């Protein structure tokens, strides 16, 4: 169970990472629609697990790997935004959130 501080920091990171990836990292996403769906922060606030939903792309794995390659740049931009709220910017780990694909698959099966 996450503490209130973890939840508050996760919400802050979710909002800022969403804006960074959609607005400032267009050269990385190459026109694909990338949405940050959830963020989990470890109790020591050292690692943030970021779950991304990827749309309008044929090769989701390649896009996710490209985002992982630019994680230092994303972390730097995040640090500029949250430098007054956090002492240390957590290390970012990116994962694919396939829950929307799963829901879509279930809906297709029900029809």
pLDDT-flagged residues of the chain (< 70) = none
> Helices (H) and strands (E) in the chain — how many of each?
5, 3
Would you state the pLDDT for residue 19? Answer: 95
Query: How many CA atoms, within 13 angstroms, populate the side-chain half-sphere of residue 75?
Result: 17
Can you name the CATH fold of 4-110? Answer: GMP Synthetase; Chain A, domain 3 (3.30.300)
Q: How far apart are CA 102 and CA 107, in angstroms?
A: 9
Q: Which two tokens stand for residue 96?
A: 């694919």
3 state DSSP class of 92:
strand
Tens-digit pLDDT profile for residues 87-96: 999 999 999 9
Would you state the pLDDT for residue 58? Answer: 86
Would you state the pLDDT for residue 42? Answer: 96
Would you state the pLDDT for residue 57? Answer: 86
**Average pLDDT along the chain:** 92
Q: Which two tokens stand for residue 107?
A: 């809906």
């Amino acid at each position: 169970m996450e503490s209130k501080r973890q939840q508050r920091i996760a919400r802050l990171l979710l909002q800022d990472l969403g804006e960074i990836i959609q607005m400032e990292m267009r050269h990385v996403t190459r026109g694909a629609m990338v949405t940050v769906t959830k963020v989990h922060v470890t109790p020591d606030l050292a690692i943030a697990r970021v779950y991304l939903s990827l749309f309008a792309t044929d090769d989701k794995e390649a896009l996710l790997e490209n985002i992982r390659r630019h994680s230092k740049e994303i972390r730097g931009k995040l640090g500029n935004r949250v430098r007054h709220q956090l002492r240390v910017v957590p290390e970012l780990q990116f994962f694919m959130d396939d829950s929307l694909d799963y829901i879509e698959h279930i809906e297709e099966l029900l029809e």
